[in-house]
Structure 1
């Protein structure tokens, strides 16, 4: 009986992992506009993608969440070859977040101050599900979230770790943790 239960749970885990790896989130359409965008640091292409959104007026303002405390806006402007005026008018740097959960909390506080009704979430495709889960838990339900995944080519190891993190956080959320 115990072996059957274990086998059944393992089968469910395998089916979930297959879904997780095969159906990665995709970039949002170019016609989608939101009040703001948030980009979670930590992966290649994320910040560049988010900057193009602000430049293309797909979001009024951008939060770069999880920035190192020593980074200055002019340094980011130079690194991404953008005018400092773009960072002065339209981009906020968030220095409080150290992980996905604190990214969500930082974003929720920022969005509340701005009274946003819609947010575009920018992160890597393999990270999107867990980031969205955390953001949905932190934001009030009346704020809509648009997923805008940066396409990557994640390794099987990256997908394995991220799936297990997502599953753990999802189960923890079910029990209220």
Structure 2
């Protein structure tokens, strides 16, 4: 009995990991949203968020989880953002240190600006967990478009992120049962 249960758990874990690694989310179709949200981290995220903003597919950009030592002028210089665009449309969020913090910082920013739709830009392997944390913190009437930046993740990154996703799901289930 215990052997079967353990075998079922191992099989579910292995099939889940296989699905996670093979079916990574992709980029979003062209769509206009109120804002674009970019958690700092892997390469290509900020560039993609700025591309969306520059194309007029969003009117504002929040980069969440920025190192507190980064100054807006340094950010603008590194990414080639015009001063006018920084002043009107780009917010650097300095309070988040992890994905859950990114979600909390984003939810506060969204509420303050009355955002009704947003595009989440993050790496393909990070999208499921980031979107899950956002769903937990955002008001229910905010539409989230997932725009995954394609990458070539190592097996190590996939393994770690899969387990972080599982931990996040278990944590949400646990909090839901306790409520």
TM over 0.5: yes
Q: Is residue 2:167 matched to residue 1:168?
A: yes
Aligned to 1:15: 15
* Residue aligned with 1:175, SS: helix
Aligned to 1:116: 115
Residues 73 and 84 in structure 1, CA contact (< 8 A), matched pair in contact too: no
| Aligned counterparts of 1:148 and 1:75: Cα–Cα separation in 2 | 26
Which deviations, in whole Å up to 9, do the C-alpha atoms of 1:76-131 show, x marking residues without a partner? 11101221211111000000000000000000000000101111101100000000
* Residue aligned with 1:106, SS: helix
Aligned to 1:28: 28
Q: Is residue 2:62 matched to residue 1:63?
A: yes
Which deviations, in whole Å up to 9, do the C-alpha atoms of 1:123-163 show, x marking residues without a partner? 10000000000000000111011001110000011001100
Shift of 1:74: 1.1
Aligned to 1:50: 49
| Aligned counterparts of 2:111 and 2:87: Cα–Cα separation in 1 | 20
Aligned to 2:126: 127
Tell me the TM-score normalised to structure 2 length.
0.96
| Aligned counterparts of 1:170 and 1:118: Cα–Cα separation in 2 | 24
Residues 39 and 46 in structure 1, CA contact (< 8 A), matched pair in contact too: yes
Paired positions, count: 176
| Aligned counterparts of 2:163 and 2:149: Cα–Cα separation in 1 | 21
* Residue aligned with 2:34, SS: strand
| Runs of 5+ consecutive residues of structure 2 not aligned to the other structure | none
Aligned to 1:85: 84
**RMSD over aligned Cα atoms:** 0.9
Residues 25 and 125 in structure 1, CA contact (< 8 A), matched pair in contact too: yes
| Aligned counterparts of 1:50 and 1:167: Cα–Cα separation in 2 | 27
- Bigger CA drift: 101-110 or 72-81? 72-81
Tell me the TM-score normalised to structure 1 length.
0.97
Aligned to 2:138: 139
